[in-house]
């Protein structure tokens, strides 16, 4: 069975779906592996390293798209889908609810598409979860961006000129990105506070060094699998009061909140920004999902009411070497888990494949994506 890895074509993307060490493992498992020449260069993986691992280098992008199993970081573009063989398999972070046209085209083409960001969050699937791997990087880099932008030290310092108090950092959302942002800000010496609509994460917040602040919810906000769902109007009103008070006291606010791991609820209003300390910084790590701050401009940095608001997109691509390494290991774990007789076996009785399957046999199998496509069509 042939596996192909094309060069990513999304603007600003520097990651590659397979690194040489993973290519070697898949070859040992019985696969033929080919990669488009130069695909790993932006992440620091030279063609020579792939050649040494036994991976075939292809100068023609069409040659890797026409394989049995295509591994990608991002959703494929229309011209890439057109080059895929009907009946082949796509594996990558499709983000189907954000890329409905790609899903439609994959189904029409007869491609079996698995999206790693739809993998169920179970112990068995942890090694395949690209969403968590990339969120970990985003949380780390987000805290560094905040520290670099803030006109103050993060840590408390004792100097001959007197004491410098520590910065106060407030993190909204305590999934993978939020917890890593907390841990990184703490390592830098900041005084960190954090909140989440899922009260069960209080212990996790405290375990990485932050102080938990929250409200008592009338209804649970947990959607299962580590995801949050939308709050009731009554709970939203109480949450706004909490957020306004915490933002007003903070030097840095880092937001990471997503509904169902996909779309960003608007949590920080323009009035909340206006009430923050002069020179404060907001890092909106939910910008890929639309942003948690009303004044965020996804992909840009703006200054409003004296507050610097960063809304970076695709932060994982800014650390392409380790991002590619982790992403590649996730995809390789997925392929290896379902390899039989030197080939990938589709098995929808398996809970992981069932959860991650987006298209198969000309149809959209993923219920939420199918519903979203029907709404667009009406």
User: Residues with catalytic annotation?
Assistant: 121, 126, 129, 132, 227
d(CA 39, CA 36): 6
Q: What number of other Cβ atoms are within 10 A of residue 342's Cβ?
A: 10
Q: Is 103 exposed, middle or buried (0-12, 13-18, 19+ CB in 10 A)?
A: buried
CA nearest 21: which of 325, 233, 242?
325
List C-alpha distances in Å: 256 to 35, 140, 195, 291, 373: 34, 12, 10, 9, 27
Run of H or E residues at 211? strand 211-212
Direct distance between the N- and C-terminal alpha carbons of the chain, in angstroms, rounded to an integer: 40
User: 69 Cβ partners below 8 Å, 6+ apart?
Assistant: 1, 2, 3, 4, 31, 88, 89, 91, 335, 344
Output DSSP code: residue 293.
Answer: B
Radius of gyration of the chain from Cα atoms?
22
Q: Are 248 and 273 in contact (CB under 8 A)?
A: no
Hey, what are 327's tokens? 């992403």
Q: What's 99-149 look like in SS3? A: CHHHHHHHHHHCCEEEEHHHCCCCCCCHHHCHHHHHHHHHHHHHHHHHHHH
Report CA dihedral (236, 242, 244, 249) to the nearest 10 degrees: -160
Hey, what are 104's tokens? 């439609």
């Amino acid at each position: 069975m042939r596996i192909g890895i094309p060069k990513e074509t999304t603007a600003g993307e520097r990651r590659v779906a397979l690194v040489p060490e993973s290519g070697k493992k898949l070859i040992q498992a019985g696969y033929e592996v080919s990669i488009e020449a130069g695909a790993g260069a932006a992440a620091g993986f030279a063609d020579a390293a792939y050649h040494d691992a036994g991976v075939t280098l292809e100068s023609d992008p069409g040659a890797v798209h026409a394989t049995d199993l295509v591994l990608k970081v991002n959703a494929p573009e229309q011209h890439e889908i057109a080059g895929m063989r009907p009946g082949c398999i796509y594996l990558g972070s499709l983000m189907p609810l954000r890329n409905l046209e790609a899903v439609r085209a994959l189904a029409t083409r007869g491609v079996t598409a698995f999206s790693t960001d739809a993998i169920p969050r179970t112990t068995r699937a942890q090694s395949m979860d690209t969403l968590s791997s990339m969120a970990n990087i985003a949380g780390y880099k987000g805290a560094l961006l905040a520290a670099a932008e803030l006109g103050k030290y993060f840590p408390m310092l004792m100097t001959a000129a007197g004491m410098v108090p520590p910065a106060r950092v407030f993190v909204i959302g305590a999934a993978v990105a939020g917890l890593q942002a907390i841990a990184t800000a703490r390592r830098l010496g900041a005084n960190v506070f954090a909140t989440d609509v899922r009260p069960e994460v209080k212990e996790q917040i405290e375990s990485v060094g932050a102080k938990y602040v929250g409200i008592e919810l009338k209804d649970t906000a947990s959607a299962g699998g580590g995801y949050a769902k939308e709050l009731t109007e009554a709970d939203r009103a109480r949450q706004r009061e909490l957020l306004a008070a915490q933002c007003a006291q903070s030097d840095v606010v880092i937001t990471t909140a997503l509904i169902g791991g996909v779309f960003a609820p608007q949590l920080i209003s323009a009035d909340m920004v206006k009430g923050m300390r002069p020179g404060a910084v907001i890092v909106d790590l939910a910008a890929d999902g639309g942003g948690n701050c009303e004044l965020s401009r996804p992909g840009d940095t703006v200054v409003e009411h004296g507050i610097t608001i960063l809304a970076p997109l695709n932060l994982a691509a800014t650390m392409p070497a380790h991002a590619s390494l982790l992403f590649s290991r996730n995809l390789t774990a997925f392929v290896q888990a379902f390899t039989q007789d030197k080939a990938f076996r589709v098995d929808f009785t398996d809970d992981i494949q069932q959860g991650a399957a987006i298209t198969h046999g000309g149809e959209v199998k993923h219920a939420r994506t199918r519903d979203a496509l029907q709404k667009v069509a009406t």
